Amino acid sequence: MLHGKRILLVIGGGIAAYKCLELIRRLRERGADVRCVMTASAKQFVTPLSVSALSGDRVYDDQFSLTDEHEMGHIQLSRSADLVVVAPATANLLARMAQGIADELATTVLLATDKDVMAAPAMNVRMWEHPATRANAETLRARGVRLVGPDDGDMACGEYGPGRMAEPDAIAAAIEAYFGAHAPLSGRRALVTSGPTHEAVDPVRYIANRSSGKQGHAIAAAIARLGARTTLVTGPTHEPDPAGVTVVRIESAREMLAACRAALPADIAVCAAAVSDWRPAAADAKIKKNGAPPSLALTENPDILKTLSEAGNARPRLVIGFAAETGDVVAKAGPKRAAKGCDWIVANDVSPGTGTFGGDDNTVHLLTAEGIEDWPRLTKAQVADRLAARIAAALGPAE
């Protein structure tokens, strides 16, 4: 939440300016005060009236208005915020920021501010990849400007690639993460696995399982909300990327292990993925239906949870596994905790009648060295929040 936080939003002149209206709403929903400065070209894309209606404040845009300077001068404006956010940060605006050009109120405020600045670049892919923009972005980053995005995707100009402004939710999450510097897991790094793995049989077929990724994604989001820098390594799912989390997409168990290793060091590892225990020897060409059905020779996959638990110096301080069982859940999960070498096990019943696999609710038991806790039936989001709070209580923020 952003209750009481004052955000000065500098709106640049790009097609993505329309997303600012949504950003203002998201920030105000979270309790922030939003004051907006628009560049002259921003007003070509969205009207000050819309911006003012959503921010609940007038829009600042005129550097040479005597009344404005009297009411709220550019210096006061630049200092009145807890954080300055530039969105969309167009190629031109980034260039002016990098050069210290103060040719209108927006750029003057950016030059005069003594507050931290966050910028969400938005431009055509070639403009983003141009050496001039790369250099400007690097200069700004080196000066401490926090860049959010840009994302890869389809652009309004019809091209595809990096340059699309981060979504309003992602920008709002980055702002929350910024203010979460005193959050319970601030300074901690977390790694979460989620979803199923796909093990190729041949170029068109694979072996998979019914995991939806809902629980793992919710855990990554909950841990990130408490301030940890979180990487989510996920198999194929339909879940949206959690805000404020670095998402690494993989398919097979071996790719998941490699991505987890690459995400170390971490203080916390939560293995919520339903990793395929076995993989077939994948054929290079599609297996044809001629004669008898083929038999699949299976090889055991690496155990990611066990590997992380036994990672020596690289072992995360708190390693948490899941035990998906059908019946006698706690009795089976106890030995699993010992066998995997992890610190905690979250045990749940995935028998067909429970609706856990793919469903929204979960009934879990938390097994730690201290004993067993039976949690009531909760939504997966509530399980995630409760687990994140337990993690924070166990580790606290980094020194």
| Max Cα distance, the chain (Å) | 88
> What's the CA gap between 283 and 281, in Å, rounded?
6
Is the CB of 145 or the CB of 273 nearer to ligand CTP?
273
Cα dihedral angle (144, 26, 75, 113), rounded to 10 degrees? 0
- For 137-161, letters b (16+ CB in 10 Å) and e give beebeeeebbbbbbbeeebeeeeeb
Instruction: Decide if residue 323 touches ligand CTP (CB under 6 A).
Output: yes
> What's the CA gap between 356 and 365, in Å, rounded?
14
Q: Which stretch binds ligand CTP (CB under 6 A): 75-83, 97-105, 303-311, 374-382?
A: 303-311
Active site residue 20: no
Instruction: Decide if residue 220 touches ligand CTP (CB under 6 A).
Output: no
- For 175-211, letters b (16+ CB in 10 Å) and e give bbbbbbeebbbbebbbbbbbbbbbbbbeeeebbebeb
Is the CB of 92 or the CB of 194 nearer to ligand CTP?
194
Tokens 């936080």 belong to 5
Instruction: Decide if residue 324 touches ligand CTP (CB under 6 A).
Output: yes
Is the CB of 59 or the CB of 333 nearer to ligand CTP?
333
Q: Is the peptide bond before 150 cis (omega within 30 degrees of 0)?
A: yes
Instruction: Decide if residue 21 touches ligand CTP (CB under 6 A).
Output: no
Instruction: For residue 331, count other CB atoms closer than 10 A to its CB.
Output: 10
What is the separation of C-alpha 12 from the centre of its chain, rounded to a whole number of angstroms? 24
Instruction: Decide if residue 357 touches ligand CTP (CB under 6 A).
Output: no
Cβ partners under 8 Å of residue 224, min gap 6: 173, 177, 190, 230, 242, 243, 244, 245
Q: Which stretch binds ligand CTP (CB under 6 A): 29-37, 79-87, 121-129, 268-276?
A: 268-276
Instruction: Kindly give the pairing relationship between strand 33-38 and strand 59-60.
Output: parallel
Q: Which stretch binds ligand CTP (CB under 6 A): 84-92, 200-208, 279-287, 296-304?
A: 296-304
Instruction: Decide if residue 349 touches ligand CTP (CB under 6 A).
Output: no
Q: Name the minimum Å distance from CB 322 to ligand CTP.
A: 4
Kindly tell me which residue out of 136, 301, 348, 362 binds ligand CTP, with binding defined by CB under 6 A.
301
Per-residue contact string for residues 131-170; x = within reach of ligand CTP by CB under 6 A: ----------------------------------------
Q: Which stretch binds ligand CTP (CB under 6 A): 49-57, 80-88, 151-159, 315-323?
A: 315-323
The residue type at 31: G
Q: Name the minimum Å distance from CB 185 to ligand CTP.
A: 20
Instruction: Decide if residue 304 touches ligand CTP (CB under 6 A).
Output: yes
> What's the CA gap between 96 and 136, in Å, rounded?
9
Q: Name the minimum Å distance from CB 272 to ligand CTP.
A: 6
Instruction: Decide if residue 277 touches ligand CTP (CB under 6 A).
Output: yes
Q: Name the minimum Å distance from CB 233 to ligand CTP.
A: 10
Instruction: Decide if residue 366 touches ligand CTP (CB under 6 A).
Output: no
Contact 269, 190 (CB under 8 A): yes
- By CB under 6 A, the residues from 174 to 203 that bind ligand CTP are 193
Catalytic residue among 20, 157, 260, 342: 157
Q: Name the minimum Å distance from CB 303 to ligand CTP.
A: 4
Structure tokens at 173: 């999450």
Q: Which stretch binds ligand CTP (CB under 6 A): 129-137, 291-299, 321-329, 373-381?
A: 321-329
Instruction: Decide if residue 271 touches ligand CTP (CB under 6 A).
Output: yes
The residues annotated as belonging to the active site are 157
Point out which residues bind ligand CTP (CB under 6 A): 193, 253, 271, 273, 275, 277, 301, 303-305, 321-324
